[in-house]
Amino acid sequence: MNMSFATKVLEAHRPDLGPYEELYKHFHANPELSFQEAETAAKIVAHLKSLVAYDVFASIGGHGVAALLRNGEGGKVLLRADIDGLPVEERSGVAYQSRRRAGEGEGKGVMHACGHDMHITALLAAADTLVASREAWAGTVVLVFQPAEEKGAGARAMVEDGLYDKVPVPDVVIGAHVMPYRAGVIGTKRGLIASSADSFHLTLHGRQAHASMPARSIDPIVLAASTILRLQTIVSREVDPADFGVVTVSSCHAGDAENIIPDHADLKLNIRAEKPATRSRLLTSMRRIIDAETSASNAPAPTLEPLSNFPFLFNDDNVTDAIAATFAQHFEVGKCGFDTNIARLSGSEDFGILATSVGRPSCFFLYGGTDPEVYDKAEEQGSLDELPSNHSPFFVPVIQPTLGVAVDGYVGAALTFLRKG
């Protein structure tokens, strides 16, 4: 079988990934929270400038970075990686474990628990590959290192801060994410690739009183308990079992002293769907239940504050088919390579805003990061659900083959639209 165009380019020009493995360890050990990624951005800028060929633009939408490589007439491709970490205390035990903390004093732990450190490193290595292979392809490459993906705000912030005044509007927008699949696996799919996600801070107000005098109170803890339980009936009783919907109460806090009924309870909610109509139904039902339970408790009106909003992410059919064809030629099809029916991202993404804001098609591909031996053993034992996944304090992708696959994915996807002639 003849080598594909992407394979020829990668085999001739892929850099030694040893230094990039060390760079990955640096990013993993030094995560920064959303909109606080100053050191991460500075490291990215320094590396891009060391490649000489890129025009580099920093501080877009906070700590966002864009880089531009013009290489003659041809297609224009944007490749994106996200760069922020999470407020998670790492417990992986790896030698390069994060010991970063946020805030004064002890603060909270910070970790790249979603794999953005792998995304950064892979895109920097892809940038290196594309520079080295300039004689083989033609067109324009735009690299975007986006802040604050975890808040669902970084892509919009970069667009609103003039990203496309600094770099050309691309023909195609491409992103990627590491997942708890078997390392070595890569794939994408048409249509929905990530669900919507709407998050809220809910304050349920009550009336404070001594614990011995509950009749003088309006107990927000009882109100919170009944609200939480009732919210769980939305998916089980209002969403078709063939559909997808999630209602999660991820935080609940009320009171401090054991002998005081507090005056309020604070909850955080997360709502997810894969269809616009279902999303609307979930949000409407959420508000109805909150208001009804508040009324039933004779409590003051609740306060519902939006925290973040992630849009639906859809892969364009034509762009996805073209990238899938490249992947099928470059990666071995099957359990250890290209997955023709990869599961969609279980979470949500703001990546699509980089495309929809300028009316361009996009494709998001996924790749695995779980040690193959660990994955195969868990699969054999029927315990795949017990493996660490994104946002777990134990989620640290095995560096290889994960990094190599990610680099080849970025480069292969870009070269799909950058062929000469």
Give the CATH number, domain containing residue 285.
3.30.70.360
- Per residue in 137-181, pLDDT tens? 999 999 999 999 999 999 999 999 999 999 999 999 999 999 999
Q: How far apart are CA 272 and CA 254, in angstroms?
A: 25
pLDDT value at position 106? 58
pLDDT value at position 322? 98
3-state class (DSSP) for residue 57? strand
Domain count, the chain: 2
Q: How far apart are CA 410 and CA 119, in angstroms?
A: 10
Residue 334 pLDDT exceeds 90: no
Q: How far apart are CA 353 and CA 360, in angstroms?
A: 10
201 labelled ligand-binding: no
> How many Cβ atoms from other residues are within 10 Å of residue 386's Cβ?
9
Residues 291 and 302 in one domain: yes
3-state class (DSSP) for residue 117? helix
pLDDT value at position 1? 46
Q: How far apart are CA 75 and CA 358, in angstroms?
A: 16
What is 338-370 written as a DSSP string? EETTPPPPSS--STTHHHHTTT--EEEEEEEEE
Lowest-confidence region among 153-167, 248-262, 320-334: 320-334
Residues 154 and 220 in one domain: no
150 labelled ligand-binding: yes
116 labelled ligand-binding: yes
pLDDT value at position 66? 98
Q: How far apart are CA 45 and CA 29, in angstroms?
A: 18
Residues 67 and 127 in one domain: yes
Residues 190 and 263 in one domain: no
177 labelled ligand-binding: yes
- The candidate with the shortest Cα–Cα distance to 60, out of 185, 177, 164, is 164
Q: What are the angstrom distances between the C-alpha of 355 and each of 103, 120, 130, 352?
A: 34, 19, 22, 5
Query: What are the residues whose beta carbons fall under 8 Å from the beta carbon of 157, sequence distance 6 or more?
Result: 61, 62, 64, 147, 148
Answer whether residue 420 is part of any domain. no
DSSP 8-state symbol, 173? E
Give the range of the structural domain holding residue 18, as residue numbers without chain letter: 5-195+312-415
